[in-house]
Structure 1
Amino acid sequence: MHPLHFLSLLLAFISLSAAQSTGDSFCSSLVCVSAVKTSSKVTYTLSRPSASQDSDPGFGWIAIGFGSAMANSPMVIAWPNSDNSITLSQRSASSRTQPTVTSSPSSVATLETAQSLVDSSNSTISFSFDDTSAAAAVSLIWAYSATNPSSSSASANLMQHRDAGTFSLDLSKALDGATPTSTGTATATSGPQSTQPSSSEPYTELQRVLIAHAAFGGLGTMIFIPLGVVIARLLRTFWPRWIVAHWVVHVVLSLPFIIIAFALGIRATNLTYGPEASHFFSDHRRMGLVLFLLLFLQVIFGSVIHWTPASHRSKGVFKGKSIQNLLHPLLGVAILAVGWATCWLGFDEWELFSGLGPVSRGVRIGWVVLLGIFALVYLGGLALLPRQFALKPDRQLRHQDSKEQYSLRERPSPPATS
């Protein structure tokens, strides 16, 4: 531990020892938590182990929560800021999602500035709660991220934790005026996969999953789905086999890519928060679910339309087109919009969960350019609607003629008469 950090901790415990202090401490490979109990309050101090600092300097943020699981445990999340100030954020979460700020916590954490220290290599943050109850054992959870929120706001977005676990402290242990040396009864369980790459590999498992998710999802939503829509809009008036190309793009490319992206998104959430976590807690994730379901529905809907004889469909309600034939393209445009929105919302989550920095401005510009290109092409294709409606009766007649000719060829010859 840095000498200045040790001195600040030592002064804190000496000043509290006169009040018949009791307390305990815990250290994992990433964080250290100590607690000192007096007759009026409990003071918690968060720091990084010196061994961890050698290979992974910095503080990022550290959180402790009062309970045995993340869900519904009151938390205090602390981090140093660039101006050497310290932010304490009291939050909670109903499941394994990013916790939100608790506006009126039952116990308010007070920053102990005299016992806290911020410097360029490490920080020690102390805070206290008013507590006049008898000292006893307390169950806690901890979490650590090496990525600082880069904001002093208590509601700042947090990069997902690198690791997490549970431990307990016995606040009835007597102190001898020095820093407690007990490690408590810690059971530091392994949390989500690290978002920081080790020296032996360029990316963590979570980062590899997110990169693949972005690749499959981006190609599916920004290239293949729009391509299938444009094929149906433009080529149907010029190429009788347009339906084959439309089918191949959506069934062979769009649908598998979206299925893979969806599965990778589920895997990323499991790596981040655990398999029991709620998966659809953000706009990006909810839109992804809607896209997944609508695309499946559209493929089924289109197949039913294609293989259902025209005579069995509903009667034409507009320009001779049945309700099914009207709804199918409208649903396609809706899927196109949902896909593009899902992709854009994913840009906002990339920095928060990948640890690889924000999405570059060039990628966002590329999104806008592609959107503009496909929009212009599709709107231009609407000018072909009169030609489409004019060709429709002629194609239906040719289709009926071919069916009759086929029927005549297959019809058995009458028996010969004597």
Structure 2
Amino acid sequence: MPTLVSSPPRVASSSTVLSTTSGNSAFVFTIPANSDTQQQLIYAFGTTNPESSDASATLQLHLDSGNTQLDLTKPLSSSTDGTSTGDSPSSAPDTAPLTSRQRMIVTHAILCVVGFALLLPVGALLARYLRTTTPTWYTGHWIAQFVISGPVIIAGVAVGFQVTKQAGITIWDDHKKTGVVLLALYLMQCILGAFIHYVKLRNFVGRPPQNYFHAVLGLTIIALGMYQIRTGYKEEWPNFSGLQPVPKGLNTLWLVWCIVLPVLYAGGLLFLRKQYRQEQESRKGR
């Protein structure tokens, strides 16, 4: 994290006369001159105010930043009619277009929400409700959990990594660490599911323990995914997106979904006795 320089060689001062926040906002700063004819400048801007007016207050991630060179030997250019060539305030758009990084943040959010909060729960509920009624339940289950969810989840996490790389973020907070853990657990769950289906322990009496572990791990991934979604819109979005806060109704929707999913899964547990009976009959018929 950059720190405040206690005694900089030059200090920029904002000009309240030339700066404006109406129409196309413009903030003008003056810097004491020196003998250099080539002035090296850096710039950065964002839409989130610091936590205080103190000069050493923590700044949120910038929307954009860069550097430029100002050649003081060149004459100033001006229009021949004395009018501005820029857009007038009345023609300025109400909202600025999303930057490349902001588009990636939105894409990351959509893909991960769809993957962890919709597709994975649908695949789990499909197995919970259909495994006692049709032998093709497994086909639908692995297609939902791997063929459909896999590309969405992996793409969402990959875009998140790309955002971090593009922004030059070197400090990994809990959201980023949890994302890595979630991806690892998801891949492990897919491998475990394939192992359970294709590798049968013929000499084992009763239901194999890996079947229980597979179910518990799947529910853990969904629960952790819901937690990850909340930290995303509660912490990461306001700190790194530079966009307006998410609607308050989103938190209500998240809470409702956190209640609906367990209720739906609990309803499917009513078929457990029938499932165990079918599995026992299947083992006897080997």
The TM-score normalised by the length of structure 1 is 0.52
Superposition map of 1:354-365 within 5 A: 354-365=241-252
User: Deviation string for 1:166-213 (max 9, x for gaps)?
Assistant: 699xxxxxxxxxxxx998xxxxxxxxxxxxxx9798321112111111
Q: CA deviation at 1:261?
A: 0.3
Query: Would the alpha carbon gap of residues 236 and 55 (structure 1) be closer, same or farther in structure 2, given more than 3 Å must change?
Result: same
Identify the structure with the greater strand proportion: 1
CA distance 1:211–1:242, change in 2 (3 Å)? same
**Counterparts in 2 of 1:274-353, with a 5 A limit?**
277-278=169-170, 281-311=172-202, 315-316=204-205, 320-348=206-234, 349-353=236-240
Q: Distance in 2 between the 1:156 and 1:364 partners?
A: 29
Q: Return the offset for 1:250.
A: 0.5
- Give the AA of the match of 1:223: L
2:60 alignment partner in structure 1: 159
Distance 1:48 1:286 in 2: 43
Larger helix fraction of residues: 2
Shift of 1:287: 1.2
Change beyond 3 A, Cα 1:297–1:51: same
Q: Which amino acid aligns with 2:60?
A: M
Cα shift at 1:150: 6.0
Q: Given the superposition, is the C-alpha separation of residues 251 and 159 from structure 1 closer, same or farther in structure 2, using an over 3 Å criterion? A: same
What value does the CA root-mean-square deviation take over the aligned residues? 3.6
Give the % identical residues.
31
Residue of structure 2 in register with 1:264 after alignment: 159
SS at match of 1:383: helix
Paired residue secondary structure (1:257): helix
The aligned runs of 1:228-243 (5 Å cut-off) are 228-243=123-138
Residue segments in structure 2 that go unaligned for 5+ positions in a row: 32-39, 73-91
Divergent runs of 4+, >6 A: 51-55, 122-125, 198-201
Amino acid corresponding to residue 226 of structure 1 in structure 2: P
Q: Classify 1:254/1:395 alpha carbon distance in 2 versus 1 (closer, same or farther; 3 Å).
A: same
Within 2, Cα distance between the matches of 1:260 and 1:213?
Answer: 8
* 3-state SS of paired residue (2:11): strand
Amino acid of the structure 2 residue aligned with 1:296: L
Equivalent-residue separation in structure 1 for 2:202 and 2:259 (angstroms): 39
Q: Is the 8 A contact 2:50 2:60 kept in 1?
A: no
| Separation (CA, whole Å) in 1 of partners of 2:62 and 2:159 | 19
Contact persistence 1:206–1:271 (CA under 8 A)? yes
TM-score (norm 2): 0.74
Q: How does 1:219-230 map to 2 (within 5 A)?
A: 219-230=114-125
- Count how many residue pairs are aligned between Structure 1 and Structure 2: 251
Alignment match of 1:144 (pick from 44, 52, 57) = 44
2:258 pairs, out of 363, 368, 371, with 371
The residue identity in structure 2 corresponding to 1:303 is A
Whole-angstrom CA distance in 2 between matches of 1:287 and 1:345: 10
Instruction: Give the equivalent residue in structure 2 for 1:85.
Output: none
Q: Distance in 2 between matches of 1:389 and 1:236?
A: 11
Query: Contact (CA 8 Å) 1:142, 1:166: kept in 2 or not?
Result: yes
CA deviation after TM superposition for structure 1 residue 234, in Å: 2.2
Name the CA shift for 1:201/1:46 in 2 (closer, same or farther; >3 Å): closer
User: Which residue does the alignment assign to 1:45?
Assistant: 12
Out of 83, 102, 115, the position equivalent to 1:207 is 102
Residues 158, 352 of structure 1: 8 Å contact kept: no
Match of 1:410 in 2: none
Q: Aligned in 2, Cα 1:182/1:208: closer, same or farther, shift over 3 Å? A: closer
Give the secondary-structure state (helix, strand or coil) at the position aligned to 2:12: strand
- Structure 1 gaps of 5+ residues are 1-34, 60-121, 126-139, 169-180, 184-197, 401-418
Q: Letter of the 2:159 partner, please give it.
A: L
In the aligned structure 2, how far is the partner of 1:48 from the partner of 1:162?
22
Task: Name the CA shift for 1:364/1:158 in 2 (closer, same or farther; >3 Å).
Answer: farther
Larger Rg, first or second structure (1 or 2): 1
Cα pair distance change 1:284/1:394, threshold 3 Å: same
